[in-house]
Amino acid sequence: MKGNFNALIEADQLVLIDFSAEWCGPCKMLAPILKQVKDELGNSVKIVKIDVDKNQSLANKYQVRGVPTMLLFKKGQQLWRQSGVLQKSEIVQVVKSFM
């Protein structure tokens, strides 16, 4: 996953990473919200879900202490970070601010 992850976040496109876990209730609430964000923003953002239990080294690298945690990247730079569930409008506003 690591090599793919680096290639993913190095892209010119905005990439929203959703660090989550199967057992996490708020993560399940966030999933349909992120789908709505993708539906609204289309190809201007790529949304990737990463299971912290299966990718512990990545979670450690980005110091993900709680799930869900969202990170926004472009060209390898972390632009934004937020833990917890946000509403669709809040996430869309953040992503648009970096477009």
Indicate the helix (H) or strand (E) that contains 98: none
Nearest alpha carbon to residue 49 among 79, 80, 5: 5
- What distances in angstroms separate CA 60 from CA 7, 19, 37, 57, 63, one per listed residue? 18, 11, 26, 5, 5
**Looking at the annotation, which residues are catalytic?**
24, 27
What 87-90 contacts at long range (C-beta under 8 Å, 24+ apart), as own/partner pairs, is 87/33, 88/33, 88/36, 88/37, 88/40
